[in-house]
Structure 1
Amino acid sequence: MADEDNGEELIRLIEENDLTGIRLWLASHAPYEIADELERMDSSRAIVPFRLLDKDRELEVFEELDPVHQQEILVGLRDAAFHDLLEEMDPDDRARLIGEAPAKIATRALAGLSPAERKMTAALLGYPEGSVGRYMTPETVILHRDLSVGRALEVVRAKSAEAETVYTLPVVADGRRFDGTVQLADLVRADDDTPLKDVVDVLVPRVQAAEPAEDAARLMQEANLVALPVVDSEERFVGLLTFDDALELIEAADSEDIARQSGASPVAGHYVAASVVRLARARATWLLLLIVAATLTVNVMQAYEATLEQVTALALFVPMLTGTGGNVGSQSATAIVRALAVGEVRVRDLPRVAGKEARVGLLLGLMLAAVAMVIGSALVGTLIAGVVAASVIAICTWAAVIGSCMPLLARRVGVDPAVVSAPLVATLVDATGLLIYFNIARLVLHI
């Protein structure tokens, strides 16, 4: 409730043009709280409090904003403020912002940077979009493996102000070839005359700069790393992926997966600030695809119209069977998409996954069939109830297999598994489930 009151208070102060009140509000809130409130506003309103931020807090708030809102803020700034803000940003954050910005903003941004910052930014932008090279920081303290611990600490003290992080320190050999990392805590605990190579972790994971950023972030999560070394194709150290950027990558990837699994395209930016048209556009494409796919169900119903005319009671259970099959398939698809995302299953595990899910579906089918048999016997008699129960078992088994295999096959052909969303699986299972149902009915009832 307090958060809602804070947001309403800031809006009121902006509407009343109370600049003193806005400054007091900004001074009493943390950068992440300010950024959250700005993302809830349209750009014309958000630029007012942003311009009133103290110089030392302006960058902190700006870096808390997502790239969409960063672009909107930049458009509203004068040239001097525009270039000062970009100059002070971390190179990796600046590269991502420029990489996603319209050409006009990107050109304006690069033109105003100092030569050193422009060179760093251009180097990061040279890596493929979505690669870890776009997210790593090149601003690190690099230590040579031939140093002593005491000399290494002197280097850290001298260069720490220029680095984004000093908790994980890359260690290199001649030619900048990556040798491993050392934690700052280990340096502090070691004797000054200890050779640095004696405290280096040479087995630390590393990734190449062109590899997918999400995979790198997942690796950091799995290995419990504060920072992940990034190397080029010749094993030369080029930067570190820090834990804050890894968390943002995982959050963005999970948000995208959730959107696609619900049958929608991901929407960049804050939900509250997104327009109705933008939200509708994100969902419309998938709904159109699903309604076309749903015509398969209509065609199946039409093909078995004669069967339904002979035994009209069969129609009573169509919604129950399609709903059950769709739910089982959706559960299976969601579980496998999640397992793929965190590396618990791989494409080569497809036979094993399909076999396991078939057994899961069979077990669920037997359980649900017992319920269907009781309900069906009370409504339409034992014979048709038996048809329904047998259909439930077959449909649940089939749905679990389809739901588990489709994400794995999608990954195999290079498609995001989340695109094979739960609604799409449910729609396909509906049509095939009806085929199973009507064919079992024909076989048992001899129609």
Structure 2
Amino acid sequence: MPSQPRLDPSDILVSTTALVNSGDLEALSRHLEPLDAGLTATLLERLPITHQAIVFRLLPKDRAMSVFERLSPGQQSDIISGLQAADVADIFAGLDPDDRAWILEELPAALASRMLHGLTAKERQLTNEVLGYPKGSVGRRMSPEYVSTKTTYTVAQTMERVRAHVHDAETIYTLPVLDETRHVVGVVSLRDLLKAEPAQTIAEIMHKPAVRTAYDSDEDAARACTDRGLLALPIVDRENRLVGILTIDDAVRILEHEETEDSSRQGGVEPLRRPYFATPVRRLVTSRIVWLLVLAIGAALTVQVLSLFEATLAEVTALALFVPLLIGTGGNTGNQAATTVTRAMALGDVGLRDLAQVFRREFMVGLSLGLLLGAVGALIVGIVFEPRFGVVIGLTIVAVCTLAATVGGVMPLIARAIGVDPAVFSNPFITTFVDATGLIIYFLIAKTILGI
């Protein structure tokens, strides 16, 4: 049997756009028919917002649900906003409560309220339970639909519970074990149940649980889930009573969301929360303009420093030649340190208690880098210009690298201590700070060495 030709997403995008623009919905429906859920989701990510709802409405109901679940929360909210009320109700009702919470955070308040009221009483209660926890907490990301068992139950009784809830539970592969007061005392896997004798009690085969409270950071809980290789992590209230579970797929989704946000802010851009091609130009502009204004204000400080040493530059104009080299070296050194420490914090390797140790380590790293780069810089500048210029450049590089690495290393920790996203305090602000202070150091060293 001959294999089907491989479909090119770029060709599909071009033909889909042409069919949407032509208004031939019947031809567009036939065009979409051979696409699987993954390829359709990729197509939607590259279409403008105005076209997404049109394409989505033409998908068969089963495939539409599968495609919808593959999209980012931001894109899901865009599609919901563009669909008719009847279409939206069916899609929204088919989602798990934790997935609804992701979408509701992206929707305007009036539309979010209307979506909630369209649910059945049971589904609305489950969704409100999740939404009742603070933003950024794992309670917002857990699923309240789970299968649990008790220490006194037998394996046979537990398997009956699994079979009874196999269609409505988020997962059946990991079951929290409760005592008579609903406290989590263990976990048992489906593999454990299949291996055990039907008459054995759960207390005989359960394992020690790893749990997180619903008020813990969603990123910390997700990291715990993935680091330990757990399929599901029980989530408890402050009295250690079970309220939900965090599954491995939701944990990965949280980490991907957080890492995208961190990498965006480290580059001076607000996260888009939706695919690039599905983001309107207006939103691309707004995601960047605030940061550019902040950095422009910071750059004004650098200009102010230069004006303070205008007389020095007028006396020795060659000093101006090295300004880009020095501020570039300092900014890059600070960014490297900030990125390294921010990543270590995300992995749990570094915490607030390690501030002094990070300070010492980054000071030594910056000093070592400065000595190596300064020696090279002093040698080259001393040969091309004159030895005293080489000394100025060499000493400045040592000082700037040491300062930049130290500040870049401790700034994310200070940000965490005051409750600010460490990524916000890293690259853009560190670059601005190091530029201004590095120039001051440069001109003070130059005035001392050159006697001007």
TM range (shorter): over 0.9
Distance, in Å, in 1 between the alignment partners of 2:327 and 2:386 is 21
Moved more, 377-386 or 304-313: 304-313
Verify: 1:279 aligned to 2:284, yes or no: yes
Q: State the 1:30 CA deviation.
A: 2.8
Q: State the 1:29 CA deviation.
A: 2.7
Equivalenced residues, count? 446
Query: Of 250, 258, 268, which aligns to 1:253?
Result: 258
For 2:423, what is the secondary structure of its paired residue?
helix
Moved more, 273-282 or 11-20: 11-20
For 2:447, what is the secondary structure of its paired residue?
helix
Question: 1:322-337 maps to which residues of 2 (within 5 A)?
Answer: 322-337=327-342
In structure 2, the partner of 1:428 is 433
Verify: 1:208 aligned to 2:217, yes or no: no
**Structure 1 residues 87-121: Cα deviation after superposition (integer angstroms, max 9, x where no partner):** 21111112322243212212221222111111111
Q: State the 1:20 CA deviation.
A: 5.0
Query: Of 292, 298, 304, which aligns to 1:293?
Result: 298
For 2:207, what is the secondary structure of its paired residue?
coil
For 1:193, what is the secondary structure of its paired residue?
coil
Unmatched 5+ stretches in structure 1: none
For 1:233, what is the secondary structure of its paired residue?
coil
Distance, in Å, in 2 between the alignment partners of 1:44 and 1:264 is 24
For 2:292, what is the secondary structure of its paired residue?
helix
Question: 1:133-282 maps to which residues of 2 (within 5 A)?
Answer: 133-202=139-208, 204-282=209-287
Distance, in Å, in 1 between the alignment partners of 2:427 and 2:287 is 16
Distance, in Å, in 1 between the alignment partners of 2:105 and 2:441 is 50
Q: State the 1:16 CA deviation.
A: 4.0
Residues 1:109 and 1:197: Cα distance change in structure 2 (over 3 Å): same
Query: Of 121, 126, 130, which aligns to 1:115?
Result: 121
In structure 1, the partner of 2:74 is 68
In structure 1, the partner of 2:345 is 340
Aligned amino acid, residue 440 of structure 1: I
Q: State the 1:365 CA deviation.
A: 1.2
In structure 1, the partner of 2:3 is none
Distance, in Å, in 2 between the alignment partners of 1:278 and 1:229 is 38
- In the alignment, is the contact (CA less than 8 A) between 2:13 and 2:47 conserved in 1? no
For 1:258, what is the secondary structure of its paired residue?
helix
Distance, in Å, in 2 between the alignment partners of 1:52 and 1:33 is 15
In structure 2, the partner of 1:400 is 405
**Structure 1 residues 122-163: Cα deviation after superposition (integer angstroms, max 9, x where no partner):** 111111122111111111111111111122112211221121
- In the alignment, is the contact (CA less than 8 A) between 2:411 and 2:426 conserved in 1? no
For 2:187, what is the secondary structure of its paired residue?
strand
- In the alignment, is the contact (CA less than 8 A) between 1:99 and 1:125 conserved in 2? no
Residues 1:26 and 1:228: Cα distance change in structure 2 (over 3 Å): farther
Distance, in Å, in 1 between the alignment partners of 2:397 and 2:67 is 55
Aligned-residue CA RMSD (Å): 1.8
TM-score using structure 2 length: 0.94
Q: State the 1:41 CA deviation.
A: 2.0
Moved more, 71-80 or 345-354: 71-80
In structure 1, the partner of 2:4 is none
- In the alignment, is the contact (CA less than 8 A) between 2:177 and 2:206 conserved in 1? yes
Aligned amino acid, residue 64 of structure 1: R
In structure 2, the partner of 1:90 is 96
In structure 1, the partner of 2:381 is 376
Distance, in Å, in 1 between the alignment partners of 2:190 and 2:316 is 77
Verify: 1:355 aligned to 2:360, yes or no: yes
Aligned amino acid, residue 60 of structure 1: S
Distance, in Å, in 2 between the alignment partners of 1:420 and 1:347 is 15
For 1:153, what is the secondary structure of its paired residue?
helix
- In the alignment, is the contact (CA less than 8 A) between 2:49 and 2:280 conserved in 1? no
**Structure 1 residues 11-35: Cα deviation after superposition (integer angstroms, max 9, x where no partner):** 2333344545544444433323212
Residues 1:254 and 1:364: Cα distance change in structure 2 (over 3 Å): same
Verify: 1:309 aligned to 2:317, yes or no: no
Residues 1:52 and 1:140: Cα distance change in structure 2 (over 3 Å): same
In structure 1, the partner of 2:134 is 128
Aligned amino acid, residue 299 of structure 2: A
Distance, in Å, in 1 between the alignment partners of 2:432 and 2:93 is 51
**Structure 1 residues 395-438: Cα deviation after superposition (integer angstroms, max 9, x where no partner):** 11111111111111111111111001312211111111112112
- In the alignment, is the contact (CA less than 8 A) between 1:364 and 1:396 conserved in 2? yes
In structure 2, the partner of 1:51 is 57
Q: State the 1:236 CA deviation.
A: 0.8
Distance, in Å, in 1 between the alignment partners of 2:26 and 2:313 is 74
Residues 1:427 and 1:95: Cα distance change in structure 2 (over 3 Å): closer
Moved more, 217-226 or 296-305: 296-305
Q: State the 1:347 CA deviation.
A: 1.3
Moved more, 92-101 or 408-417: 92-101
Distance, in Å, in 1 between the alignment partners of 2:269 and 2:397 is 29
Distance, in Å, in 2 between the alignment partners of 1:252 and 1:166 is 25
